[in-house]
Amino acid sequence: MGRAKEVALKPKYIVDVALARRAHAAIAPYNLRSPLKLSTKLSECVGRPVYLKLESHQPTGAFKVRGALAYLLSLEGEARRKGVVAASAGNHALGLAWAARQVGVPALVVVPRSAAKIKKRKLAELMVKVRVHGEGYDEAEVFARKLAEEADASFVSPYDDPWVMAGNGGTIALELLEELGELGGVVLPVGGGGLASGLVTAMGDIPVLGVNAAASPAMALSLAEGRVYETYEGESTLAEGLEGGVSQTSVAYCQQLWQVQQVDEAAIGRAIGFLAREESLVAEGSAAVAVAALLEGHELPGEGPLCVVITGRNIDAERLKVILQA
């Protein structure tokens, strides 16, 4: 499993709708607003309107470009000159690489060996400095933090930072509130909890369901047991972007979630196939967990229109082919 830490579940820093609005205004000139699509099939499946928030249409193929850009735009003076270091299963690294090129900040990213080939290829195309280290995310983060300390650079967590949380989840929440006059609930994937933390703090009274991959349920366990799984060594999963531990602050904010449910690998595979066949959408496993919860008949939040956040499309072609053939 992993290392759990007994702590009072209170945030170490503030993430709120005011910070979400600041992040939203900062990234607005970069045209990162994503499309919203009504899913007829999912609506029929659950008996209520279901909309898909297509973060898979972002320039890097995933939502994490929002938080990375918000973070870099918050840097000033010497911190901007010295640059940043990040650890990532792939999408945060891609977001940071893209954002760094936009604003002219030096960046180095560390990815684990488990990162998808397509993510490594895209990083090479963005010409960012990349180091491959460790079998999973947690090992990559330890190494990245060491590199940042040695270079006197800023470490950018993919989930444990106020600007990253507000930039990722907060800005998506504000868009949804603008785009859907009526919204009964939101369903989204949960890994480290940064997306969920930013979104749930900006959604007000609208209930939000988080979904873990059962192979790496650090958030579900942390909330159930009242302690923080800072690292988690789970089983191999199609949702490699959700692997690893959580933080005290992400767990504290995720206490506001309506529930955190879990889906198994077979359900994730079926959801990837469903999105490809029925919606003509390519979705990576980390994105498909949210749809899996609907297809598997899990209890859903609220009443009325539901929005599912499709967080990314960066899945290896070979893996997608095997899933579709199955």
Q: Are residues 213 and 145 in the same domain?
A: no
pLDDT single digits (tens) 174-185: 999 999 989 999
Q: Are residues 128 and 86 in the same domain?
A: yes
In this structure, what CATH number is given to the domain that contains residue 132? 3.40.50.1100
pLDDT single digits (tens) 236-292: 999 999 999 999 999 999 999 999 999 999 999 999 999 999 999 999 999 999 999
Q: Which domain holds residue 82?
A: 65-156
d(CA 210, CA 190): 6
d(CA 173, CA 62): 16
HSE-up of 90 (CA within 13 Å, CB side)?
29
Looking at 106, 127, 156, the residue that finishes a domain is 156
Q: Give the chain's end-to-end CA distance (angstroms, integer).
A: 30
The DSSP result for 140-167, as a single string, is HHHHHHHHHHHHTPEEE-SSSSHHHHII
Q: Are residues 198 and 238 in the same domain?
A: yes
Q: Are residues 124 and 214 in the same domain?
A: no
Q: Are residues 219 and 283 in the same domain?
A: yes
Q: Are residues 74 and 20 in the same domain?
A: no
Q: Identify the residue with better confidence: 63 or 137.
A: 63
* Residues 222/274, Cβ–Cβ less than 8 Å: no
For the chain, the average pLDDT equals 94
pLDDT score at 146: 96
Task: Tokens for 320, please give them.
Answer: 């997608």
Q: Are residues 294 and 185 in the same domain?
A: yes
Number of domains composing the chain: 2
pLDDT score at 119: 86
pLDDT score at 138: 85
Q: Are residues 245 and 264 in the same domain?
A: yes
pLDDT score at 6: 62
Residue 7 has pLDDT above 80, yes or no: no
Q: Are residues 111 and 17 in the same domain?
A: no
Looking at 109, 129, 156, the residue that finishes a domain is 156
Which pLDDT band, with edges at 50, 70 and 90, does 8 fall under? low
Least reliable range by pLDDT among 12-26, 97-111, 115-129, 280-294: 115-129
Residue 169 has pLDDT above 70, yes or no: yes
Looking at 123, 156, 189, the residue that finishes a domain is 156
